[in-house]
Structure 1
């Protein structure tokens, strides 16, 4: 914080006026009263009062002026301790600051308006941003993303209110703390008090958040007293014998027992529901009206509660407990250990008996339920006293939704990691294949059909092209394949591959095609979409060895239909769907979640690579679509692909783009600077360009290329790899453009062009994907030089 203080002195003219007024008033007093001492004192007092007033005015005018400078390091240190994802943006919508949680949730630090979310999820963010700038704050109750839903709070802040603070919090299905607080202060809490049970809800700091009237009466002497915010520990006292009493009642008050129910067992220091029961005078469970009151209360609570006796037998359990335990409607377990798997039965039984016979205490135990053996849950157990036969209170939290979200996040993380691995492997293979294909092309220039080596070289080249198609499948799975999307209709795509499908399916499989009405256009790569249909059709054929029927059906899915589907990952927009259904052997239920994983196949060894469905999945996801599989063993399998309907903005009709003609003559002249860190690729590219008439200067990395540029030689074209050690291609080009702003650039890389263009902000560059042939390299170089 920078501050500056300026002082100001009272003007001399004002001092003179005050002094003159004081003398005149003193003279008047002397003339009227004739007392010199009184006149002198009055004149001095008037002068003092005027001087103080003038001095205060001067100091007020010279108040310190503080000027603040935003300290983003301090801001970041503050928001790092927040449990929510926090981001700060400026007036231009740029990200100024964010915590690590924000970066991990959204896979990078982008402004909220630029997050990679489903199509319809970004619109509420932009609308909330406008509302916050206009009104000061905005809230999005539920923002959809792949891993679940978020609540978004946007607030205008800063000294000049020139920044927005964004907070993203997960939306939980049930707020147990607020539900318990509401119920304990309602009629249910009153009925609990009538049964002699005092209830109070405390937070992590042991301060009261709510309680029933019975507790307020015993703790303060008045049922209407305000108890929220007070420390529960100060209201209770414990004597040498360990008996707990109310502080207000003193040592003569009746002792009480505490029963603690943690509401947030997964969080350290969460909220706790505390029941206080008179040690002697509380009604017993099963005696009089207390039994019905307690069971009615436990039945109303949204928490899963159960009561067990000293022998561990279950006396009562509410619907929430049965639902969390995964019990059927007609199931009646005898012991709590009946709910868990065999390995956990002994631990649960021992814990229940220990809590039932020992001193009052509570704790959690991790168990695996028989209904969900793969998902450990927390079973809270607390000793109960004063409830008759009931000696143990058990609590079970229904965390099915939380577990589902965890599985989705784990699956998404695994698929992302495998995709990155697949993309990296494909990139390295593309370098190797570029060298193999290039050397084959150079050898074919020296051999003619009929030579003894000609057929062998052609076979090597054909196998290399097959390997290149395999790398394209890996890139498709990792969503890094170069796509050429265009507007199309699904029936047109199916008609293009209909004859091919008939040949692939053979005589034993019947192909049926059905098209719905009012199908909207979709934006996708027609070639890749044809590959999706062919892959699914071939899989269906292999699943019907004795023959069967394959049905391809297209139909429209309106946004209202998507809303009724209650999908957690599909945005609510219009779709055009394609269902591919066969009558084959089907897929077992335990294998169905794994079918889109790479290298997973149910076929025999040597009959499948395991990349067919993973390629289909990658192409559909890269086209902003969704694919789901449903199968019944012995009846068949159905794959449904949903592609969003493309709604283009109204634009004036433009003349169709004319396809670029390939240059008839590939020979050229000029000097080319070739930059490639892979020696085998650099060697074949140098030989290929030299044979076409170019002078080629090579460099193994970006530093060597800069030295060549600074040596003074003039280059007509720069051909560079994108990913290189120490200095990559884009960095090299930015340095080169400083001295040679008109130098043509040709990038070559094994990664997808779309991915590279998103990360490379350089104008007037061409792109050549690996692997490429000698002719393709010559054509790309000729085209780049012609565009100079």
Structure 2
């Protein structure tokens, strides 16, 4: 009935024409014509009247259909209440952002994991992860989908999938999926319920996994068939003890096999991991265990030996490290997982468990094995340090076993090589970030000192001419100060806080510019080979910094070839499809231009390869290396948006590969560049300048330098004093301010000053990177001068800032 009402309504409203509408309309036109003929007797008039009725009905129907279509097309606003309900029903952490990066919809789970509902990618404070999420979003807008792995949020480790969606594909859908951590319990559960469990049953081994409370969690088919009578029986959650019985001789049987059953041998494999392994604890079961039951043939005196062969076969299949030792502590058997966890080489078999650990822990391991080999069965953990990883304590589990012939102790060792590798990577990233922050802070303070030294040298040189007794000394001081400024630039490059002047360029041009310098640096014993690929995309980077990268890599390669060799510099294109084939977790799928610098030198040992980018790490002799070369290279590449990888094999040289993303706006930017250079006027100027600087030495030298250029200079110690001067009667033509100051910093002062002086030109000076400051300073039309600077550089920056404010070139 409801459907019928809906169809009638659609017929009347014109949303869906009824099949009866046309016949009814024709009938109505015919009746109208008949009435006209009856009233007027004129057939022509009747025909015209009927045609008019039909035309008006057609126009009315067409108008209604057009109005309905426009209404349907105009109503394109998404119903986010439905989307949110669907997201909550899925139980996943989902967020939707629009073209402007605003969060328009999110699930409750997203709010639980990220309090305050921040808009992706701003869900983390880690700069590296923030950059990765932003890159994934850009890739998704371009290619339709992106992915980031390993996002950490508290105790969670998440993978993030981003895809473009919506009717006009103008939204991004973010899905946050928790990474499933490997678990021995899950591995054993899959083993028992899968093909391996069936094979164990065919070999006569019944296997059961129980929890710490003694209830069954999983069992293979052999145990289900004999304990419950059916291979498809569901006994999960039942007490394991109810399926077993013990006779008056202490022998173990299945409870269902009351008469004629064979006694069973029971082997217990502990699956628990103690949270604080500090010593062996025994006395009973306090965690999940794997129980293996094997028939003991009646009257067989060698059953223990036969059972041991079964157990060895079984242990070789298990995915976690297990070994068996006799009462004297000698190792009888160990599986492949145990060998990998212990760091053993292929074919290596230790005699005693103590051979696996460092000398200080050997006595403790031997004593623990002796205690577990005699007396009642018990299990526990002991903290040891393995021979191949002496700095990382590892939990070694021990359990006493009985009735397996010579075997008396079962040893379990977790294969945590991947986990240890991940911990080292996290520790390394944390250390590099902390050192970077320290280096950036030191360089910032040092730049203030160098600014004062270089500035005073420039002022003194204005009063001396070449040939004066003090001229050469002043030049020497300035030269050494500039060398120190280069050292601070290295620190800032490592911490990714230096000021870059990026340009759109081609890598072959940079290699060509630096080739002549390289030939002089390499000497006659090292041959330089350069090759370039085709169809290389333009990159956006600082050409001077890229030259420094190439020079640093070339000098290191020369030192690695003391007897001579070949240095090869190669550039080539790496399209996104090739990147996907590499399956590199760190390198996002995009178009890159690669630079490879390789040598035929001695190579880099594997234990050193992971440390080469650390600051102040060097293998060179004292006085021949600062340890900042490769760390500077790493910082420049990362700050330019690229990636660098080192590859080496002892005796076969080393290669450093740099991937720089292809700049998509190269054509537009090159077309927008002016054809003729802009002519600049002299640095002499006029007007009133307000100088705000908290460092007395920097403020003094800047004030003298600007006064010598013809400016009237007013000074202030911080932002609050600067606002007081601005509020005075003096007209200010230019504001020069430091960025980081106590009480009130420069950006806060300028933001308030722009309310009363909207057109005031502003010049910021700071020892921090311009790129980082511009991201954090939301103020338009401001210039930037990096420290340390000379008197002439300050004068030029002041002239340009005034020209920008007045619109004069």
TM-score class, shorter: 0.7 to 0.9
3-state SS, counterpart of residue 747 of structure 1: strand
SS at match of 2:595: strand
Q: Which stretch of structure 1 is more off in the superposition, 591-600 or 269-278? A: 269-278
User: Does structure 1 residue 143 correspond to structure 2 residue 141?
Assistant: no
Give 2:640's aligned residue: 623
Shift of 1:371: 4.3
The equivalent of 2:446 in structure 1 is 429
Given candidates 85, 103, 106, the residue that maps to 1:93 is 103
Kept in 2, the 8 Å contact 1:113–1:122? The answer is no
Which of 281, 289, 296 matches 1:273?
289
Please list the CA deviations of residues 511-530 of structure 1 after superposition, one character each: whole Å capped at 9, or x if unmatched.
22223344343332222111
The corresponding residue for 2:536 is 519
SS at match of 1:594: coil
CA distance in 2, matches of 1:612, 1:114: 25
In the other structure, the counterpart of 1:80 is none
1:697 offset after TM fit, Å?
Answer: 2.0
1:552 aligns with 2:569: yes
Change beyond 3 A, Cα 1:438–1:649: closer
Equivalent residue, structure 1, for 2:672 = 655
RMSD: 4.6
Checking the alignment, whether the CA contact within 8 Å between 1:720 and 1:729 is kept in structure 2 is yes
Which residue pairs with 1:605 in the alignment? 622
- Residue 418 of structure 2 corresponds to 401
Asked if the contact 1:587/1:632 (under 8 Å) is kept, the reply is yes
1:376-433 Cα distance to aligned partner (Å, 9 max, x none): 4322212223434332222222111111111111111111111111111111111111
1:761 pairs with one of 764, 778, 797: 778
State the Cα distance separating 1:453 from its structure 2 match.
2.4
Partner SS for 1:435: helix
Corresponding residue for residue 76 of structure 1: none
Q: Which among 198, 210, 232 is matched to residue 218 of structure 2? A: 210
Long gaps (5+) in structure 1: 1-83, 132-138, 156-161
Q: How does 1:473-622 map to 2 (within 5 A)?
A: 473-545=490-562, 547-559=564-576, 562=579, 565=582, 567-584=584-601, 586-622=603-639
Distance 2:603 2:382 in 1: 41
Taking the aligned partners of 1:746 and 1:475, their CA distance within structure 2 comes to 21
Conserved? CA contact 2:323–2:331, under 8 Å: yes
Equivalent pair of 2:689/2:735 in contact (CA under 8 Å): yes
Tell me, in whole angstroms, the C-alpha distance in 1 between the residues paired with 2:605 and 2:391: 19
- Select the residue among 217, 220, 234 that pairs with 1:226: 234
1:313 paired residue among 309, 325, 330: 330
Q: Note the C-alpha offset of 1:733.
A: 1.6
Write the distance in 1 (CA, Å) between the matches of 2:793 and 2:246. Answer: 88
Secondary structure of the residue that 1:669 maps to in structure 2? coil
Does the CA-based 8 Å contact 1:278-1:386 persist in structure 2? no
Distance 1:386 1:207 in 2: 24
Q: 1:116 aligns with which of 125, 128, 131?
A: 131
Equivalent position of 2:268 in the other structure: 259
Alignment of 1:7-22 (within 5 A): none
Q: Distance in 1 between matches of 2:713 and 2:187?
A: 75
In 2, Cα distance between the equivalents of 1:358 and 1:696? 91
User: Which whole-Å CA distance do the structure 2 matches of 1:692 and 1:237 have between them?
Assistant: 102
Deviation at 1:486, TM superposition (A): 2.9
- Structural mapping, 1:383-394, within 5 Å: 383-394=400-411
Contact 2:766 2:786 in 1 (8 A): yes
* Paired residues of 1:746 and 1:768 also in contact (CA < 8 A): yes
The structure 2 residue matched to 1:340, chosen from 357, 363, 367, is 357
Question: 2: distance between equivalents of 1:506 and 1:165?
Answer: 54
Q: Distance in 1 between matches of 2:719 and 2:702?
A: 17
Distance 1:578 1:230, change over 3 A: same
Secondary structure, aligned partner of 1:654: helix
> 1:40 matched to which residue of 2?
none
Match of 1:28 in 2: none
Whether 1:680 and 2:686 are equivalent positions in the alignment is no
Distance in 1 (alpha carbons) for counterparts of 2:754 and 2:250: 82
User: Residue 531 and residue 663 in structure 1: after superposition, are their counterparts in 2 closer, same or farther (change >3 A)?
Assistant: same
Q: Establish whether residue 418 from structure 1 lines up as the match of residue 424 from structure 2.
A: no
Q: Residues 656, 339 of structure 1: CA spacing in aligned structure 2 closer, same or farther, 3 A cutoff?
A: same
1:180 alignment partner in structure 2: 188
Contact 1:484 1:525 in 2 (8 A): yes
Query: In 2, are the aligned partners of 1:309 and 1:315 still within 8 Å (CA)?
Result: yes
Give 1:555 shift.
3.4
Q: Kindly tell me: are residues 270 and 463 of structure 1, through their superposed partners in 2, closer, same or farther at Cα, counting changes over 3 Å?
A: farther
Could you tell me how far apart the structure 2 residues matched to 1:313 and 1:111 are? 50
The residue number in structure 2 matching 1:169 is 178
Cα contact 1:489–1:520 (8 A) shared by 2: yes
What is the alpha-carbon distance in structure 2 between the residues aligned to residue 204 and residue 154 of structure 1? Answer: 41
Provide the C-alpha distance between the structure 1 equivalents of 2:546 and 2:505, rounded to a whole number of angstroms. Answer: 10
Alignment equivalent of 2:465, drawn from 448, 452, 458: 448
Query: What is the aligned residue count?
Result: 687
1:352 Cα deviation after fit: 1.8
Deviation at 1:345, TM superposition (A): 2.4
CA 1:735–1:661: 2 relative to 1, 3 Å: same
The Cα offsets for residues 428-468 of structure 1, whole Å up to 9 and x where unpaired, read as 11111111111122222222333332232222222222211
Distance 1:383 1:480, change over 3 A: same
Q: 1:446 to 1:645 in 2, by over 3 A?
A: same
C-alpha contact 1:151 1:170 (8 A) present in aligned 2: yes
User: Is the partner of 1:275 in helix, strand or coil?
Assistant: strand
Kept in 1, the 8 Å contact 2:326–2:332? The answer is yes
Q: 1:601 and 1:751 mapped to 2: Cα distance? A: 27
Q: Which whole-Å deviations, capped at 9, do the CAs of 1:276-323 have from their partners, x for residues lacking one?
A: 659988999855864554333323222222222333233332222223
CA contact (8 A) 1:113 1:126 kept: no
CA shift, 1:769, in A, is 0.7
CA contact (8 A) 1:87 1:97 kept: no
> Residues 152 and 158 of structure 2 are in contact (CA less than 8 Å); yes or no, is this contact kept in structure 1?
no
Note if contact 2:527-2:565 (Cα within 8 Å) is conserved in structure 1.
Answer: yes
Q: 1:608 to 1:111 in 2, by over 3 A?
A: closer
Which residue does 2:209 correspond to in 1? 201
TM-score normalised by L of structure 1: 0.75
DSSP-derived class of the 1:513 partner: strand
Are residues 359 and 712 of structure 1, via their aligned partners in 2, closer, same or farther at CA, if it must alter by over 3 Å?
A: farther
Q: 1:93 to 1:200 in 2, by over 3 A?
A: farther
Q: Deviations over 1:630-668 (max 9, x none)?
A: 456666443333333444598698332367746423233
1:696 to 713, 717, 726: 713
CA distance in 2, matches of 1:296, 1:588: 38
Q: Counterpart of 1:641 in 2: which secondary structure?
A: strand
Q: What is the correspondence of 1:56-75 to structure 2 with a 5 Å cutoff?
A: none
SS, match of residue 480 in structure 1: coil
Q: Per the alignment, in what secondary structure is the counterpart of residue 300 of structure 1? A: coil
CA separation of 1:696 and 1:313: change in aligned 2, threshold 3 A: same
Aligned partners of 1:285 and 1:727: how far apart in 2?
87
SS in 1 for 2:427: helix
Tell whether the 8 Å contact from 2:549 to 2:633 is kept in structure 1 after alignment.
Answer: yes
Quick check: 1:355–1:381 contact (8 Å CA) kept in 2?
Answer: yes
Whole-angstrom distance in 2 between the partners of 1:184 and 1:476: 55
